[in-house]
Chain A
Amino acid sequence: MITVSQTLENVRDSSAKEVVSQCIERIEASKFNTFITVAKESAPEAAKKSKNIKGSLAGVPIAIKDNISTKGIRTTCASGILGGYVPPYDAHVIERLKEAGAVIVGKVNMDEFAMGTSTETSHYGPTLNPWDIKRVPGGSSGGSAATVAAGEVPLALGSDTGGSVRCPASFCGVVGLKPTYGVISRYGLISYANSLEQIGPIASNVADMTHLFNVVAGHDPRDSTSVPGEKDYTNALVDDVEGLTIGVPKEYFGEGIDQAVEKSVRDSVHRLEDLGASWQEVEMPHTKYALAAYYVIAMSEASSNLARFDGMRYGLRLEKDHDWHTTYSEIRSQGFGEEVKRRILLGTYALSAGYMDKYYLKALKVRTLIKQDFERALKSTDVLIAPTMPTPAFKLGEKISDPLTLYMADVNTVPVNLSGVPSVSLPCGFSNGLPIGLQIMGKHFDEETIIRTAYTFEQNTEFHTKAPEVA
Chain B
Amino acid sequence: MREESLKLRPYLDEVGVMIGLEIHVQLNKLNTKIFCGCPLDYHDDGPNTHTCPVCLGLPGSLPVINRKAVEYSIKVGLALGCSIEEHTQFYRKNYYYPDLPKGFQITQYDYPIASKGYINIEGEDGEVRIRINRAHMEEDPGRLLHEGGSIERSKYTLIDYNRSGVALLEIVTEPDIRSPKEARRFLDKLRNILEYLDVVDTTLEGSMRVDANISLSGGSRSEVKNISSHKGAERALLFEIVRQKNLLRRGGKVVQETRHFDEARGVTVSLRTKEEAHDYRYFPEADLVPLKVADLAPGIAKTLPELPDARRQRFISQYGVTDDHAKSLTSEKQVADFYEQVATEVDPKLAAVWIADVLKGELNYRNLGIDAFAGANMVQLVKLLAWDKITEQSGVEVIRTILDEGGTPDDVVAAKGLLKAGGDLVTAAVEEAITENPQAVEDYRSGKQEAVNFLMGQVMKKTKGRADAKEVREMIIQRV
A residues lining the B interface (CB < 8 Å): 67-69, 75, 77, 82, 85, 87-89, 91, 186-191, 194-195, 221-225, 300-301, 303-304, 306-310, 312-314, 324-325, 328, 348, 351-353, 356, 360
Contacts and interface: CB of A to CB of B under 8 A. Distances in A.
Q: Is the interface of B mostly helix, strand, loop or mixed?
A: loop
22 contacts: A69-B58, A88-B53, A89-B61, A188-B61, A189-B60, A190-B59, A194-B286, A222-B62, A223-B64, A304-B103, A304-B281, A308-B57, A309-B59, A312-B101, A312-B159, A313-B58, A313-B101, A325-B96, A328-B96, A352-B279, A356-B281, A360-B283
Contacts of A352: 279, 281
Contacts of A306: 103
B429 interface: no
B286 A301 contact: yes
A87 B60 contact: yes
Interface string B45-85: 00000000100111111111100000000000000000000
A224 B65 contact: yes
B196 interface: no
Contacts of B279: 352-353
Given A225-B287, A310-B103, A312-B98, A191 B281 contact: no
Contacts of B281: 303-304, 348, 351-353, 356
A317 to B, nearest CB: 14
A325 B281 CA distance: 19
A313 B53 CA distance: 12
Q: Is the interface of A mostly helix, strand, loop or mixed?
A: loop
B60 A308 contact: no
Given A225-B289, A352-B279, A353-B279, A87 B59 contact: yes
Contacts of B101: 308, 312-313
B366 to A, nearest CB: 45
A89 B56 CA distance: 12
Contacts of A194: 286-287
Nearest to A312: B98
Contacts of A88: 53, 58
B94 interface: yes
Contacts of B98: 312, 324
Interface of B: 53, 56-65, 92, 94, 96, 98, 101-104, 157, 159, 279, 281, 283, 286-289
B53 A89 contact: yes
Nearest to B37: A222
Which residue of A82, A224, A325 has the most chain B CB atoms within 10 A of its CB atom?
A: A224
A308 B53 contact: no
Contacts of A87: 58-60
Given A69-B60, A186-B62, A308-B102, 9 more contacts: A67-B60, A82-B59, A87-B58, A87-B60, A188-B61, A224-B65, A307-B96, A308-B59, A352-B279
Given A82-B59, A351-B94, A307 B287 contact: no
Nearest to B92: A304
B94 A304 contact: yes
Contacts of B94: 303-304, 307, 351
A77 B59 contact: yes
B96 A224 contact: no
Nearest to B93: A304
A353 to B, nearest CB: 5
Contacts of A222: 62, 64
A243 to B, nearest CB: 36
B460 to A, nearest CB: 71
Which residue of B63, B96, B102 has the most chain A CB atoms within 10 A of its CB atom?
A: B96
B58 A314 contact: yes
A366 B62 CA distance: 27
A312 B56 CA distance: 11
B90 to A, nearest CB: 10
A310 B57 CA distance: 12
A361 to B, nearest CB: 9
Contacts of B62: 186-187, 222-224
A224 B64 CA distance: 6
Contacts of B56: 313
A85 B92 contact: no
A325 B96 CA distance: 8
Nearest to A185: B62
Contact of A308 (B103, B159, B287, B289): B103
Contacts of A301: 286
Nearest to B65: A224
A190 B287 CA distance: 12
A328 B103 CA distance: 11
A225 B286 contact: yes
Nearest to A306: B103
A224 B104 contact: no
A449 to B, nearest CB: 26
A312 B103 CA distance: 11
A444 B62 CA distance: 23
Nearest to A328: B96
B227 to A, nearest CB: 24
**Closest A-B pairs by Cβ, 4 of them:** A307-B103, A195-B286, A351-B281, A69-B60
A187 B96 CA distance: 24
Contacts of A69: 58-60
Nearest to B144: A324
Nearest to A182: B289
A186 B61 CA distance: 8
Contacts of A85: 59
A49 to B, nearest CB: 24
Contacts of A89: 53, 58, 61
A309 B159 CA distance: 16
A120 B101 CA distance: 30
Contacts of A186: 60, 62
A88 B48 CA distance: 15
Contacts of B53: 88-89
A224 B283 contact: no
B289 A310 contact: no
A82 B102 CA distance: 15
A221 B279 CA distance: 33
A111 B287 CA distance: 23
A307 B64 contact: no
A24 B141 CA distance: 44
A363 B261 CA distance: 42
A45 B286 CA distance: 38
A198 to B, nearest CB: 13
A89 B106 CA distance: 22
A314 B98 CA distance: 13
A224 B61 contact: no
Contacts of B287: 191, 194, 223-225
Contacts of A189: 60
B289 A224 contact: yes
A188 B62 CA distance: 8
B278 to A, nearest CB: 10
A304 B284 CA distance: 11
A313 B160 CA distance: 12
A191 B62 CA distance: 10
Contact of A221 (B64, B92, B102): B64
